[in-house]
Structure 1
Amino acid sequence: MFILFISETDLSREKGLSAAGANVEALPYTAPADADMLYYDRPRVIDCIPIDPFGHPTPALVTKAAILEGGLPVMNIRAGTSIAPVAPFKGLGALPGKDPRIVAAVPDFSKISDKAGEAAKDLAGSGIKKFVLAESIPGGTTTALLLLRSLGYNGTVSSAGPINPLPKKEEIWNVVASRLGIKAGGMKGMGLAAAAEVGDPMQIAVASFVSALPEDAEVVLAGGTQMMAVAALLRDMKVTRPLMVATTKYICQDSTSCFVEYAEKIGVEWYSAPLDFSASKFPGLADYEKGYVKEGVGMGGAVWYALQNGAKIERITERTEKLYAALTS
């Protein structure tokens, strides 16, 4: 089953940090609109497709194409958004994440953890054996860096645009570390409590979901450095089960990201979806090849899952083009 965890963090409102946060008023609709895309031909919570400030469409288009081509079962889990999607979802009763420069990011983490664990046990009990877990949370690469750094993984994280605001992210880390009186690795061994201080609700929800699954369940974390941070959290929680983080070639080609290095240090397998939109007639999609968007809404993991089910990468690309054409006509 392909499960999208939608969430929110107040950090995304920081100017110059998140591509999705360029329009603050539209920000709360981003993740719910992505959730709608998994079920419908267009978002219903808002009457437009989520785009970045440069006009590039949400990666949910590619995810939806993979779902259709691969015949993938899907589900949404709402893990801390201020607005609910119109599409069906399971709610965890979570609030959006707070700004960790000021206060603990996820004060209600125990409740989120318990409910995510219950959801995992219920789904596993229904006979599901394969779980591909994705995320949509604007600003999530910054909370990923904060969590990775606090657990002792030095490195950088990717960005949704070709210009990665790493100095801004490092500045935020310094403020958070100062508030907590820690250095890199200062929260190693604290598990969920570390994510509760510096991370976001999605990290808590996904890690708790995975830790509650039976050992014979196959788990794929669908995302880039955001899901790599979840993998690091799981290892810090002493979860030793095999894990794979499935992303796109765009993340692996990003010189500002340490995705592969993180995978080696954390001890997880990784996959890079071989997407190619260089021949697209739509500039918004062709620019994916120039470093825009890169990943999100489980794009790479959805492609992996669809290919496992017999889909062809060319068909996924063609379907993405058709979906985009229908949305823009």
Structure 2
Amino acid sequence: MKVLVISNMYPGKSSYLGIFIKQQVEDMENEGLSTIKVVKNRKGSIAYVPFILKNIFYLLLGSYDIVHAYYGFHSALFAAIVKRRPLIITFVGSDAVKEPSRNKVYRILQRFVVSRANHIIAVSSKIRDILISDLGADSDRISVITFGIDFDLFKPIPQARAREKLGFPSDKKLVLFPSNPQRIEKRFDIFNRAVELLQKENHNIMPVILSNNRRPYSEVPLVMNACDVLVLTSDSEGSPTVIKEALACNLPIVSVDVGDAREVIKDATNCYICQQEPVNIAERIKLVLNNGIRTAGRNNIKYLSSKKITSEIMEVYREII
């Protein structure tokens, strides 16, 4: 079986953006799947030119059995028009939640690609419900399959060892912001205000920013093990992978109620859902720090192993051929 993978959301050499898509594709390749990858991994609108040209070339002339497009009409439009082979579309979050509301054209294009898909994968039940109610997806042709976690990479290690390797101070309470502050939708402004409120009471609190171009992805587990709490303040998410990675490292979490964060966190010890408001977030962070314990969330998310998720996607492929 050969799959033509199309995505406008693929990481470059110094970016985490779309890393979960790259990992999922590589996991399937490790299971023996043959792929052709047509991806946009550079910033800027001009990068769409070679991306579109490659799309057209491989869709018309390539040899493949299935097209799997990641991220709505931006990746699936030409595949939906040409439609030489079965089409699967994975919606990751904003492509279902934010993009259709931008303007009528975006909404029409999203509804078009949804109507042309043989099967749709939604990364959370919330995204599935939006696709059905707002974009006309057929409930019989949609599955909820999120992105898996590499439990060999993301695992607990002693905090002191992680801090020593990274050169982090041993006497500070480290509060992790897990994204690029320049991405407005991640709401670094809210995170920063919450930390400022805490620092008025406790000068030992120090923010840590996990953003593009600062550290290689292989060091992300070290950062998570070095920190005391991860704080997610985004306006919207589909199925935030960073929440699962943190739980795999037993890092406590304070998160706004976005995507499937509430569902994934569930009853994990010392993890809290909060309002998207600095005072409430600061209160939850303070509660985590005062508790002074790691979570045991790793045991709650074994069902999210990358091997299991890969198996579920491969089964979808087999069903539609």
Compare CA radii of gyration and give the structure with the larger one: 2
Provide the TM-score with structure 1 as the length reference: 0.30
Provide the TM-score with structure 2 as the length reference: 0.31
Give 1 or 2: higher strand fraction: 2
